[in-house]
Amino acid sequence: MYAIPAFVLLVAVEALSYRFAPDDEERGYELRDTATSMTMGAGSQVVGLPWRAIALLAYAGLYTLAPVRLSAASVGTWVLLFLADDLAYYAFHRAHHRVRVLWASHVVHHSSVRFNLSTALRQSWTPMTTLPFWLPLALLGIPPWMILLQQSVSLVYQFFLHTERVGTLWKPVEWVFNTPSHHRVHHGSNQVYLDRNYGFGPPGWAPAADRAGLTARAEA
């Protein structure tokens, strides 16, 4: 919630950057598309706020059953949370591309033919499909508030992946982290690049595929 004003400001900044520094290979913004993304984002917050209360109760219930309760004061707990959350997100993301009923929830995020920061806000209104993938973290003994906090940190990070304005980063960064170039391919519609780069493990793309994946998605 605290990040929303920054999101809106950065969307405006990126949109202005296309006006003053256009790129023929980048699609930029279109008013109706951006309005749709922003509306979807606002709706997801309205639905998601009460759902997070339900999720918190579910995490708390499993946390009480955990054989070991980890301390938030331990660095090891935060490292475990970081890795476990990344794995949970990968499982969630992969399942939402491979299982049709889950894809019906996730497909709205892929419904734009443009790729800009506003696309990051084009979120589903069915957050209940996320819960099973993070429940094991509570059974590991990670405090529920930490799980919700790390989910928020992950979502903020993912916002910055949705841009054409950032090219390929330093190779070690590209190899370890999910980056805008990885995520452009993930949003591509070329048959060979479908269901790539879920956000965990080594990248599943070749650098030369980056622009091709984006172009085919735009044409589709």
Q: What is the pLDDT of residues 7-39, one digit of tens each?
A: 999 999 999 999 999 998 899 999 999 999 999
- What pLDDT, on the 0 to 100 scale, is given for residue 201? 56
Q: Is 50 exceeded by the pLDDT of residue 5?
A: yes
Q: What pTM was estimated for this model as a whole?
A: 0.86
Q: What is the DSSP string of the chain?
A: -TTHHHHHHHHHHHHHHHHHS--TT-----HHHHHHHHHHHHHHHHHHHHHHHHHHHHHHHHHHH-SS---TT-HHHHHHHHHHHHHHHHHHHHHHHHSHHHHHHHGGGG--S--SGGGGG---S-GGGSHHHHHHHHHTT--HHHHHHHHHHHHHHHHTTS-SSS----HHHHHHS--HHHHHHHT---GGGTT---SSSS--S-TTHHHHHHHHHHH-
Least confident of 17-26, 124-133, 141-150, 192-201: 192-201
Average pLDDT over residues 147-151: 96
